[in-house]
């Protein structure tokens, strides 16, 4: 288990509002949003939905964590930088220098659909080479060092989505110590300027993620006194 790096990313829209987008991207957002908007103006949907698309969003912080002392303790922290490129470079450096080396595995909830591809796309956009653990080009499915707790919970059911918070609730895992949820990240960042709250929320989700992994693999969760937050 000590070769698993648990991660969670928080993303926001590229700009604080639609009007601040470059003109070329504005036209593309209008086209993109036509596939899911109903009566809402596409300008309003930008603030609500852009953060989930790597072409119109960016990574704000990355929570990481791992077990140590034979899996009896957990250490978690959030990576943050003012510039996305610096953040992604720091994350890439962290995984490339991880003690597990070529045996490193990354784990996220819905990571195969969101976290892993979002990170890869934003790295390419920012001109950062993909670290080994994220570069899956040419690899066979069983060679890809990615774990996804949502996939583990699905048991082969491809149409079923269950949130991290819901799984924590039904499996008796203590919830996040943060008082916010993912839908509030854009507002907290651009309106309330509360980056610290988002960083804490991201870090606490990594705690829940790691505990969920333990539950899904038939192990006991780690008591809070054995969790180091930094």
Global pTM value: 0.95
Q: Locate the domains of the chain by residue range.
A: 4-229
- Confidence category of residue 105, pLDDT binned at 50, 70, 90: very high
Is CATH 3.40.50.80 the right assignment for the domain spanning 4-229?
no
pLDDT in tens, 154-199: 998 887 789 999 999 999 998 776 678 888 999 999 999 999 999 9
pLDDT in tens, 28-59: 999 998 888 777 778 889 999 999 999 999 99
- Confidence category of residue 147, pLDDT binned at 50, 70, 90: very high
- The answer to whether 210 and 6 have CB atoms below 8 angstroms apart is yes
Cα–Cα distance measured from residue 41 to residue 138, given in angstroms and rounded to the nearest whole number: 41
pLDDT of amino acid 177: 62
**pLDDT at residue 136 greater than cutoff 90:** yes
Alpha-carbon radius of gyration of the chain = 18
């Amino acid at each position: 288990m000590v070769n698993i790096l648990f991660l969670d990313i928080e993303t926001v829209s590229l700009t604080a509002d639609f009007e601040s987008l470059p003109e070329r991207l504005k036209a593309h957002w209008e086209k993109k949003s036509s596939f899911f908007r109903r009566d809402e103006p596409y300008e309003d949907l930008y603030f609500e939905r852009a953060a989930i698309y790597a072409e119109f969003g960016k990574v704000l912080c990355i929570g990481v964590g791992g077990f140590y002392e034979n899996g009896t303790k957990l250490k978690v922290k959030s990576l943050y930088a003012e510039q996305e490129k610096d953040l992604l470079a720091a994350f890439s450096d962290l995984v490339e220098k991880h003690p597990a080396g070529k045996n490193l595995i990354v784990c996220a909830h819905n990571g195969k659909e969101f976290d892993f591809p979002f990170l890869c796309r934003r790295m390419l956009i920012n001109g950062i080479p993909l670290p080994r653990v994220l570069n899956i080009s040419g690899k066979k499915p069983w060679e890809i060092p990615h774990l996804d707790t949502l996939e583990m919970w699905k048991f082969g059911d491809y149409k079923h989505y269950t949130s991290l918070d819901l799984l924590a609730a039904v499996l008796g895992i203590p919830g996040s110590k943060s008082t916010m949820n993912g839908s509030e990240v854009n507002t907290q960042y651009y309106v309330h300027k509360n980056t610290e709250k988002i960083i804490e929320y991201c870090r606490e989700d990594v705690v829940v993620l790691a505990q969920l992994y333990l539950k899904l693999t038939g192990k006991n969760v780690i008591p809070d006194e054995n969790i180091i937050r930094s």
